[in-house]
């Protein structure tokens, strides 16, 4: 039963990744059809991110009340409804309206499942869980590219993914009995075991919320929170603006760019599959540093003018490989740095900071692209990479 539930969780994280890549892949076409400026994609992503921040801050309370299984099923259902709403949206402002339930649902899945896996399963499963998210992001652009290349338009790209989300919601509802039998606490997890015993009960003393102020007061917490913000600024800016950079800076045609941005997600997916094995040998800090080094290499490759646009394709693929270990290894290292008693509160605020980076930094680059030049895309990514490296090294000095 434990393995069956783990399979369900993996599939649920695929559902989280499926729609994440659609907006960036389709926006060059959507912006023309809707008569919206290029930078307005940032407004949609900002609204989605605002919803995920709310979900992250409420996730602890909601999961304690309803359980991780119910929260996940309802959240995936919300994203399904929002995606179908995207597919029939007549204008830009309708997309903004649909972005609200989309963000709330996506944030609910992300926070609930990350906490659940961190408590119940070994670290390798965290990397593989995020690999499943990469599978979803890899499929999404190909679905959108299929819809565009066959003349169906971007609404059908969203519609196809919406139908898949409905099927996943049904699967999660049917799996609810598996979740009900696994009510446990962090203290029940034994070192080196895949799962805790099914009959475990909660601790005698109820857990008290630490709060945002309490988290910020912990030595080294600010550094790890900024690391999350920087990582999501890099990842989400690349996802949202990678296709547009191909088109406007490198001369790739729109339909090709909608599909080729999948190299970024392919790099993330393959990288996280490999990271699950590498974490058995290397520590979390070593994995994070390897990822940061690969991100730098990817940025440099993007600047090399290779024939047939190979520079931008290869650069985004390597950047994806570099992104792969950073997010899951930061989450997994949190209990080691700050103690099990503080980790859940810190992870919740980490998620909120991650979504702040997702909400603010891609739209900021949209303004730079519109009013300065989209060619600053690699430099923009490098600035956040440098800040993330500085914060990680500071964290290591304080808590290492």
Confidence grade of residue 299 (pLDDT, cut at 50, 70, 90):
very high
Per-residue pLDDT reduced to its tens digit, 224-245: 999 999 999 999 899 889 988 9
pLDDT band at 198 (very low <50, low <70, confident <90, very high): very low
Q: What confidence score (pLDDT) does residue 202 get? A: 41
**Percent of all residues in the chain with a pLDDT value above 70, rounded to a whole number:** 89
SS3 186: helix
210 in any annotated domain: no
Q: How many CB atoms lie within 10 A of CB 280?
A: 9
Q: How many domains does the chain have?
A: 1
Distance between CA atoms of residues 244 and 248, nearest Å: 6
Q: 188 in a domain, yes or no?
A: no
Residue 179 lies inside a defined structural domain of this protein:
no
Residue 193, pLDDT score = 34
In a domain, 190, yes or no: no
Do the domain assignments include residue 58?
yes
pLDDT of residue 57: 75
- What is the model's pTM? 0.73
Tell me if 181 is assigned to some domain: no
Full residue range of the structural domain in which residue 25 is found: 2-174+215-399
Question: CATH no. for residue 227?
Answer: 1.20.1250.20
pLDDT, greater one: 115 or 228: 228
Residue 181's pLDDT is 55
Higher pLDDT, 68 or 80: 80
* CB burial string 26-49: b at 16+ within 10 A, e below: bbbbbbeebebebbbbbbbbbbbb
Token pair recorded at residue 201: 């009960």
CA-based nearest residue to 123, from 191, 224, 199: 191
Does the residue 199 lie in any domain?
A: no
Say how far apart CA 212 and CA 316 lie, in whole Å.
35
Residue 160: count of CB within 10 angstroms of its CB: 21
Q: What is the pLDDT of residue 186?
A: 40
Encoded tokens for 128: 């593989």
Please report which confidence band the pLDDT of residue 144 belongs to, taking 50, 70 and 90 as the band edges.
confident
Longest dimension (CA), the chain: 65
For residue 332, being part of any structural domain is answered with: yes
Tell me the CA distances in angstroms from 259 to 21, 26, 219, 256, 355, one per residue in order.
10, 9, 44, 5, 25
Q: What is the pLDDT of residues 1-35, one digit of tens each?
A: 567 888 888 888 787 788 877 887 788 888 888 88
Give pLDDT, residue 192.
36
Q: What is the mean pLDDT of residues 102-119?
A: 79
């Amino acid at each position: 039963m434990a393995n069956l539930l783990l399979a369900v969780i993996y599939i649920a994280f695929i559902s989280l990744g499926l729609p994440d890549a659609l907006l960036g892949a389709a926006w060059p076409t959507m912006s023309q059809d809707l008569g919206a400026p290029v930078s307005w994609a940032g407004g949609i992503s900002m609204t989605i991110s605002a919803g995920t921040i709310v979900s992250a801050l409420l996730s602890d309370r909601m999961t304690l009340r309803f359980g991780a299984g119910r929260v996940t099923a309802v959240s995936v259902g919300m994203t399904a409804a929002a995606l179908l709403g995207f597919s029939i949206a007549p204008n830009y402002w309708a997309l903004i309206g649909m972005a609200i339930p989309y963000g709330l649902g996506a944030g609910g899945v992300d926070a609930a499942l990350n906490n659940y896996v961190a408590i119940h399963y070994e670290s390798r499963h965290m990397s593989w869980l995020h690999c499943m998210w990469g599978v979803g992001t890899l499929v999404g652009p190909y679905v959108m590219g299929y819809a565009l290349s066959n003349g169906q338009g971007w609404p059908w790209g969203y519609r196809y993914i919406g139908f898949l989300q409905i099927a996943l919601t049904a699967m999660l509802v049917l799996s609810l009995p598996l979740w009900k039998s696994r009510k446990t606490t962090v203290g029940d997890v034994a070192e080196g075991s895949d799962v805790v015993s099914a009959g475990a009960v909660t601790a005698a003393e109820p857990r008290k919320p630490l709060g945002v102020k309490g988290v910020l007061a912990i030595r080294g917490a600010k550094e790890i929170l900024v690391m999350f913000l920087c990582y999501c600024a890099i990842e989400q800016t690349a996802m949202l603006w990678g296709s547009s950079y191909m088109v406007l800076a490198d001369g790739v045609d729109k339909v090709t760019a909608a599909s080729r941005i999948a190299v970024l997600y392919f790099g993330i997916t393959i990288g996280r599959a490999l990271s699950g094995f590498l974490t058995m040998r290397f520590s979390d800090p070593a994995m994070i540093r390897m990822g940061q080094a690969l991100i730098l290499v990817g940025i440099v490759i993007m600047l090399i003018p290779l024939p047939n646009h190979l520079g931008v394709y290869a650069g985004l693929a390597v950047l994806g490989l570099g992104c792969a270990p950073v997010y899951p290894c930061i989450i997994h290292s949190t209990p080691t740095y700050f103690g099990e008693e503080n980790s859940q509160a810190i992870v919740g605020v980490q998620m909120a900071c991650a979504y702040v980076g997702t909400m603010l930094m891609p739209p900021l680059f949209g303004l730079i692209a519109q009013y300065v030049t989209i060619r600053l895309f690699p430099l923009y990514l490098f600035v956040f990479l440098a800040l993330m490296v500085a914060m990680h090294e500071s964290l290591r000095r304080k808590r290492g």
